[in-house]
Amino acid sequence: MSKTALLFAGQGAQVVGMGKDLAENSPAAKAWFDRANAALGYDLAAICFSGPEPELTKTEHAQPGIFLVSWVAFELLKERVPSLVFEATAGLSLGEFTALTAAGALSFEDGLKVVRQRGRFMQEACAATQGGMAAIIGLNEAVTREVCAETGVVLANLNCPGQLVISGPTEKLGPACALAKAKGAMRALPLPVAGAYHSPLMASAQPKLEAELARVTWRDPVVPVISNVTAQPHGGPDAIRGRLVEQVTSSVRWEESMRYLIGQGFTRFIELGPGRALSGFLKRIDKTAQVLNAEDLASLETTVKALQGKR
């Protein structure tokens, strides 16, 4: 029997217009966007639908916006396919919060509010430091770790074979990219992000996030949720809170997380939320996996048909 895991998008997937066609064509979707606006006290839906892009790109809007659109896609998929069964969830960085919410570890409102605050704390850390990130394409992990050790940056994301991300002080990224190319990287290019995510430069966000997580009611997840930090299932509420704080400065072990699920017999993966980055990573990790996604009406319909066995 095929086992299904749900995957939730991370920051960087945001795009102006995300979720708009879902809200315009589904009363249930519109209700979720209205509920989110009420919970936050401002019109997040309008920023998702209409931008402007600089506003949506702000970490404090991008994070809850992606969480919200991913959640709406999840709810609409359940509505369209009542027989849907999933046995695990995972999310990239910010998406881990959506994955935990989908697994019942916290309520929708709490998840949304925590993610908004997380975005604010990380934005404050970015403003207080001079940092950035760069994608390293075509270099293996061992050599990339050598680059990090020699230049004073860290390995932030291990996404899939041949695609890694480094993070650190702005003045060290240029030399790190140059060294990566010298060691054989096909490309090494700075990313358009506000700061050095998943690096020690984000440490000032950790105590603030820890206090925020302590105010939320947590429950045991109803299915395994894979931790970015350990690439293994989360434990109970106390362990979850600890890992989420740790995640702010730790590497995202995404490839390892996916290989764990594949090793557990998972063959179908459904990416929920804007973009298809996670689907692309998965195809690089295991070409035989069935990968579906739901980010808008068209992709939702395609996924519904696939799940119902229709062409």
Among 26, 61, 70, 93, the one annotated catalytic: 93
Phi and psi (nearest 5°) for 64? -65, -30
Distance of CA 207 to the CA centre of its chain: 21
Q: Give yes or no: 70 in active site.
A: no
CA-CA-CA-CA torsion sign (76, 79, 81, 86): positive
Among 61, 70, 167, 198, the one annotated catalytic: 198
Q: Give yes or no: 198 in active site.
A: yes
43 CB burial (10 A radius; 0-12, 13-18, 19+): middle
Give the catalytic positions in this structure. Answer: 93, 198
